[in-house]
């Protein structure tokens, strides 16, 4: 990601807003209303009854924030293709300052039966990712990478978290504590880092990015072996319980064929924070 200042704010603040550039950044960095936050499933338990909840927000919510804080914002996209991937660069300009980010998506994905699925929304997904990453360069939505990833009740048939789980997850954003309606063997606890504390992290470090901590065993709550880098069979479990008398495992998440919540103006939110 590269940063380019095209029209630095003058001494009287950002044109048309009466705000300093620092004030604009501070407003953009504020967390979204918890009711606007959605959750997608990461890893699932073997019985598919629980899944790791990953927070994301529809891109139109990003746009509403930009409209309110810096109405003169604009973005431009450039697209290129590399093998089976589409790569998009988003140049987002806020208050005269332009910052860029890249997003990418596979144009086709393989199913377990060996067939290939064409990703019709690949370009839209790549634009979504690039847009949200560019927004994060201004602090907008960056805190979502710091939201604790917790195990929550999951409806595998509908491929979504249960209504009760969503309520508990959104309450966690408000209080910093995950308290599910029913405690399944104590595995509903979060990572121990409160969302409120993460929101106050002013250095922009994505401490929760990419599941930095190995998850607890979904059966016994104990430590797990991380087999993602060493396993030879891609369909083998990503994680396996370290206890010899426990068969708890976490299977790889199935790759979705849907666009990860479109984030550019033409799409509707990404499945990843940015």
Size (the chain), residues: 274
pLDDT greater at residue 217 or residue 188: 217
Domain residue ranges in the chain:
3-251
Query: DSSP letter at 144?
Result: G
Question: pTM for the full model?
Answer: 0.64
pLDDT at res. 143: 96
| Chain segment 227-238, per-residue pLDDT in tens | 777 767 777 888
Mean pLDDT, range 137-160, rounded to an integer: 95
Mean pLDDT, range 141-152, rounded to an integer: 94
Q: b or e along 114-152 (b: 16 or more beta carbons within 10 Å of the residue's beta carbon)?
A: eeeeebebbbbbbbbbbbbbbbbbbbbbbbbbbbbbbbb
pLDDT at res. 115: 77
| Chain segment 117-131, per-residue pLDDT in tens | 788 889 999 999 999
């Amino acid at each position: 990601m590269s940063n380019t200042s095209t029209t630095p704010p003058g001494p009287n603040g950002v044109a048309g807003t009466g705000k300093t550039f620092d004030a604009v950044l501070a407003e953009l960095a504020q967390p979204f209303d918890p009711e606007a936050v959605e959750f997608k499933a990461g890893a699932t338990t073997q019985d598919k009854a629980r899944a790791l909840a990953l927070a994301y927000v529809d891109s139109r919510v990003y746009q509403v924030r930009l409209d309110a804080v810096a109405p003169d914002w604009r973005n431009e996209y450039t697209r290129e293709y590399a093998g089976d991937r589409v790569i998009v660069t988003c140049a987002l300009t806020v208050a005269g300052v332009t910052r860029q980010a890249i997003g990418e998506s596979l144009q086709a994905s393989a199913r377990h039966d060996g067939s290939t699925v064409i990703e019709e929304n690949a370009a839209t997904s790549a634009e979504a990712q690039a847009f949200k990453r560019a927004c994060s360069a201004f602090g907008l939505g960056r805190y979502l990478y710091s939201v604790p990833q917790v195990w929550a009740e999951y409806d595998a048939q509908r491929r979504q978290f249960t209504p009760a789980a969503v309520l508990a997850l959104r309450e966690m954003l408000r209080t910093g504590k995950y308290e599910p309606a029913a405690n399944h063997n104590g595995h509903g606890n979060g990572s121990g880092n409160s969302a409120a504390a993460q929101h106050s992290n002013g250095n922009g470090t994505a401490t929760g990015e990419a599941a930095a901590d190995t998850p607890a065993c979904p059966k016994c709550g104990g430590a797990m072996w991380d087999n993602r880098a060493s396993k030879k069979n891609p369909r083998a479990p990503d994680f396996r319980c370290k206890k010899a008398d426990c068969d708890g495992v976490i299977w790889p998440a199935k790759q979705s064929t849907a666009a990860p919540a479109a984030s550019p103006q033409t799409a509707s939110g990404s499945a990843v924070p940015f």
